[in-house]
Amino acid sequence: MTIITSKERQLNDAYDKYADMLYHLSLSHMQNREDAEDVIQEVFCKYYSKMPTFADSAHEKAWFIRVTINQCRDHLRRRKLRTHTPLHEIGDIAGQTGITDENALDVMQLLSYLPEKYRSVVILHYLEGLSIEEIAMALGIGKSAVKMRLSRAREQLQKQLRKEDSLV
């Protein structure tokens, strides 16, 4: 018989609550499933080893998002990773985010053109459904900065779409 400690129960609860969202976020940065899974594992290892206390669930969510983004940056700094998503993984991304198979490749390619700071807010806002306030808290920036990043990301995506349309 296995006895689950309070610390393990906390870890399981946090994993159930945040794993999918953090996976999508790390996948958008890492561009492949294996590296994204490694990042998530490291995030939850940090959580388990530190067991931080949070003022509320919004603070907890912000902590997980911030640590995930930092882990992605660390991974990318340590290794020069390939910057594409293999075609066989596009279906996995599409199924988990509600994007259809027909446009999943286009969406992931468009997001890859964005700088990391813009890509993060787009993923958190449009794919994960976080509010401006939640994103600001998670990233440690102001609400106006989040709005500006979303606006600039949309502009860059529109320019990229126009550029691709003119090539067709």
Q: How far is CA 101 from the centre of its chain?
A: 20
Residues 52 and 20: their CA atoms lie apart, in Å, by 21
**Phi/psi of residue 3, nearest 5 degrees:** -100, 125
Is 1-83 CATH 1.10.1740?
yes
Is 114-168 CATH 1.10.10.10?
yes
- What is the structure's pLDDT at 102? 52
| In the chain, where the domains are located | 1-83, 114-168
Whether pTM > 0.75 for this model: the answer is no
- What is the structure's pLDDT at 80? 56
Residue 27's nearest CA partner among 103, 92, 80 is: 92
Q: In CATH terms, are 1-83 and 114-168 the same topology?
A: no
- pLDDT averages per 10-residue partition of the chain, 168 residues: 81 94 91 91 94 92 95 82 44 45 62 86 85 90 93 86 71
Residues 74 and 58: their CA atoms lie apart, in Å, by 24
Q: How far is CA 7 from the centre of its chain?
A: 25
